[in-house]
Amino acid sequence: MSDPAIRVRDESGIGVVEIDHPPVNALARPVRAALLEAIERLAHDPAVQAIVIHGCGRHFIAGADVREFDAPPAEPLLHEVLNRVEALDKPVIAALHGTTLGGGAELALASHYRCATPDLSFGFPEIKLGLLPGAGGTVRLPRLVGIRRALELMTSGTPIGIAAARELGLVDHELRGDVLAGAVAFARERIAAGAPPRRTTDLPMPAPESPTVFADARAALSAAARRVPASEAIIAAVEASASQSWRAALAAARERFDACRRSTESRALRHLFFAERVPPPAGTPQPVATVGVVGAGTMGSGIAIAAAAAGLEVTLVDAQDAALAAGLGRIERHFADAQRKGRLDAAGAAAATARVRGATTLEALAPVDLVIEAVFESLEVKRGVFAELGRACRPGAVLATNTSTLDVDAIAAASGRPADVVGMHFFSPAQVMRLLEIVRGRDTAPAVLATAFALGKRLGKIGVVVGNGFGFVGNRMLYAYGREKELMMLEGATPIEIDRALETFGMAMGPNAVGDLAGLDIGYAVRRGWRERPDDPRFYRVSDLLVEQGRLGQKNGRGFYRYEPGGRRGTPDPEVDALIRAEAERLGIARRAIGADEIVERCMLALIDEGVRLLEEGIAARASDIDLVWCHGYGFPRERGGPMFYADTLGLGHVLERIRCYARTRGPRYWTPTASLERLARDGGRLADEPSAPTTSATGRG
């Protein structure tokens, strides 16, 4: 073959095509070319009666090579290869196992027969990259499973297992044991039965399940899905398949695919795809089998749940018997609920629960491999805990602090062994949220940093290594974002106007609703201990005022909004509007109407500006790290790629001009552009290409 990723051999009349392109057998251009060459060779070999296509390793084919989507399509195009596979006059059997996604699933549909192992994961995740199945999926899938189910599979991107695939008729035969041997045996059975090629495109399109099937599919799209053009493109492509010949419908789908490929939304999602796959930090991770968690509150018990679910033995420590009992109860209820919802069987839930044991003294952590501290966000409290951990834990154990804003170096110094200390900032709820900020202290050993990163991966987290400085990356930027929404409330925007504008932009929640959910008193306490808090009476004055008035958020039913008992959706409260107006008058701030465009622009520019500063200071290693933090931890819309990618789509010249405009109209205190932004704007550069300073450990701003 022209590429060693494709091997062909004859199994006594069965032509076997093996795809061996680690790690996931992606259908890159050389692989497609060699696959087409192999198919043509076997098509013209009179000794070959049937063909088996097999993916080597743990996967059949996990899709296309995503790197190719940034360039114009290169021949042979995948749909051309698959059309040739389907057109063969010899039976073609796809031997499916493991991950069979995207282009791999489309190859399976173009094959005449499909057999699969029990570990099958079959699906069309293209929508998660802002794309649609462009090699025949929109034509072939509805012919096999019906229009409604095809739309569900492609617009959700959620894969299905062997049971669902068999029920839908996507799999003809389930394999046990060796996948290739089983597929060859199945091929011989097809030959013995005189089974002909069975072409999916020869099947008629099924009638729509209802006259409103396409309207229903559009109505079922989430707000986020509607912001991605590929969602509508998938529905339109299947709609075309219902009314056109399969060749015309496939051509139309190809045009839609290419338009989606060029869209900003797809480029943003592909940007995040690659950002999530950055190599781990240098250093050899230490093995971790046992974990200690200090603090049995909501965060500590959430971390314990995540660790136990990943198969780790956990010791949960809290000095208060009642708090420990409450934490262990939360853990037990979590796994019982997982069993009730079918995520775990009874044995799995019982085993996970049993992996967590409680203790009331830090001496119980003497044998563990890694400890995560999750106590009250106070530097004095955390330093006291680490002084004890430094004595109680075995030499070489990793000591991690879950602080969200505090100085990791100051905490590490208290331990007496700062090389063993690292920040592991989980986001609440820790058993759900994927982001993990891994904070490199001044003395953190490379192996300790690598161990924290590896543990995060085992827990299913997106780990982002950041430098040490107040708020690290996420929370420091949050204060810039929140600063502008707080100033705009004093200037005339209401809390609901701000939240609606930013949610329309795509944020998962408006910042005022987020504050109420988290508890306004939490941020209030953090700001009291922030040494570098801006000396500005307007800074976070609205949030501070609400706390001083006893309005803490959802926890007591009154924050920016008013909440009914047990309710999570607040309603605007005229009392809050009156408080804000009175405070603005006291501070001498003239009020005006503020439109949604200004609300969004000021909040986004504040995020971008602070992100640029983090890159300059080396707190963030790369712009894409900042995007990961904000998309995974703060609800930034993925289809916009994160704040730094969004800045590049706006154009840095435009960003600089708007910052200068606000410097003139709102004052230079918060609107002084950085030197690197001015340079990049002048040179036509992008933040995506900007190298940061070395990731630092620092106090204060960095």
14-48 pLDDT, tens digit per residue, is 999 999 999 999 999 999 999 999 999 999 999 99
Contact (Cβ atoms closer than 8 angstroms) between residue 162 and residue 136:
no
With respect to residue 174, please indicate whether it lies within any of the assigned structural domains.
yes
Give the pLDDT of residue 694. 62
Q: Give CA angle at 693 (692, 698), nearest 5°.
A: 120
- In whole angstroms, give the CA distance from residue 581 to residue 589: 9
Give the pLDDT of residue 695. 55
Question: Are residue 383 and residue 508 in the same domain, yes or no?
Answer: no
Question: Are residue 436 and residue 520 in the same domain, yes or no?
Answer: no
Give the pLDDT of residue 2. 72
Q: Bridge-partner residues for 164, per DSSP? A: none
Percent of the chain with pLDDT over 90: 94
Binned at pLDDT 50, 70 and 90, residue 692 comes out as low
Mean pLDDT, all residues of the chain: 95
Backbone angles phi, psi at 62, to 5 degrees: -95, 10
With respect to residue 277, please indicate whether it lies within any of the assigned structural domains.
no
CATH number at residue 306: 3.40.50.720
Question: Are residue 407 and residue 516 in the same domain, yes or no?
Answer: no
Contact (Cβ atoms closer than 8 angstroms) between residue 93 and residue 114:
yes
Residue 332: what residue type? E
pLDDT exceeds 80 at position 691: no
Question: Are residue 99 and residue 76 in the same domain, yes or no?
Answer: yes
Omega before residue 76 within 30° of 0, cis: yes
Q: Which residues form the domain of 231? A: 6-262
Q: Residue 114: left (phi > 0), alpha (psi -120 to 50), or beta?
A: beta
Question: Are residue 73 and residue 214 in the same domain, yes or no?
Answer: yes
Instruction: Determine which one of 75, 80, 86, 106 is catalytic.
Output: 106
Binned at pLDDT 50, 70 and 90, residue 3 comes out as confident
Q: Residue 700: left (phi > 0), alpha (psi -120 to 50), or beta?
A: left
Give the pLDDT of residue 701. 28
Question: Are residue 519 and residue 416 in the same domain, yes or no?
Answer: no
With respect to residue 282, please indicate whether it lies within any of the assigned structural domains.
no
Q: How many CB atoms lie within 10 A of CB 492?
A: 16
Tokens of 457: 């991966």
pLDDT exceeds 50 at position 548: yes
Question: Are residue 44 and residue 126 in the same domain, yes or no?
Answer: yes
- In whole angstroms, give the CA distance from residue 27 to residue 63: 6
Percent of the chain with pLDDT over 70: 98
Is 126 considered catalytic here? yes
- In whole angstroms, give the CA distance from residue 644 to residue 464: 15
Q: Which of 301-315, 515-529, 652-666 has the lowest mean pLDDT?
A: 515-529
Is 657 considered catalytic here? no
The pTM of the whole model exceeds 0.85: yes
293-314 pLDDT, tens digit per residue, is 999 999 999 999 999 999 999 9
Question: Are residue 457 and residue 484 in the same domain, yes or no?
Answer: no
Residue 124: what residue type? F
CATH number at residue 556: 1.10.1040.50
Q: What is the mean pLDDT of residues 178-204?
A: 96
With respect to residue 103, please indicate whether it lies within any of the assigned structural domains.
yes
Binned at pLDDT 50, 70 and 90, residue 592 comes out as very high
Question: Are residue 386 and residue 295 in the same domain, yes or no?
Answer: yes
- From 408, 436, 468, give the residue that closes a domain: 468
Q: Among 281, 436, 405, which residue's Cα sits nearest to residue 699?
A: 405
Q: What is the domain count for the chain? A: 3
CATH number at residue 51: 3.90.226.10
DSSP 366-429: TT-SEEEE---S-HHHHHHHHHHHHHHSPTT-EEEE--SSS-HHHHHHHHT-GGGEEEEEE-SS
Contact (Cβ atoms closer than 8 angstroms) between residue 150 and residue 242:
no
Q: What is the mean pLDDT of residues 276-287?
A: 94
Give the pLDDT of residue 72. 87
Question: Are residue 189 and residue 312 in the same domain, yes or no?
Answer: no
- In whole angstroms, give the CA distance from residue 182 to residue 184: 5
**Alpha helices per DSSP H over 290-345:** 298-309, 321-340
DSSP state letter for 160: B
pLDDT exceeds 50 at position 485: yes
With respect to residue 268, please indicate whether it lies within any of the assigned structural domains.
no
With respect to residue 358, please indicate whether it lies within any of the assigned structural domains.
yes
With respect to residue 330, please indicate whether it lies within any of the assigned structural domains.
yes
Binned at pLDDT 50, 70 and 90, residue 531 comes out as confident
Contacts of 177 (CB under 8 A, 6+ apart): none
- From 436, 451, 468, give the residue that closes a domain: 468
Question: Are residue 198 and residue 89 in the same domain, yes or no?
Answer: yes
70-111 pLDDT, tens digit per residue, is 988 899 999 999 999 999 999 999 999 999 999 999 999 999
Distance from CA of residue 240 to its chain's centroid? 32
Binned at pLDDT 50, 70 and 90, residue 693 comes out as low
Tokens of 471: 């708020």
Q: Give CA angle at 608 (607, 611), nearest 5°.
A: 85
Give the pLDDT of residue 529. 82
- From 441, 468, 495, give the residue that closes a domain: 468
With respect to residue 398, please indicate whether it lies within any of the assigned structural domains.
yes
pLDDT exceeds 60 at position 616: yes
HSE of 504, CA atoms in CB hemisphere, 13 A: 12
Question: Are residue 135 and residue 66 in the same domain, yes or no?
Answer: yes
DSSP 87-129: H-SS-EEEEE-BEEETHHHHHHHHSSEEEE-TT-EEE-GGGGG
What's the distance, Cα to Cα, between the start and end of the chain in Å?
55
DSSP state letter for 231: H
Binned at pLDDT 50, 70 and 90, residue 698 comes out as very low
Pairing of strands 92-96, 173-174: unpaired
pLDDT exceeds 50 at position 702: no
Helix (H, G, I), strand (E, B) or coil at 159: coil
Give the pLDDT of residue 689. 84
Backbone angles phi, psi at 461, to 5 degrees: -95, 155
627-636 pLDDT, tens digit per residue, is 999 999 999 9
Q: What is the mean pLDDT of residues 176-202?
A: 95
Distances (CA, A) of 194 to 14, 49, 172, 358: 14, 11, 16, 65
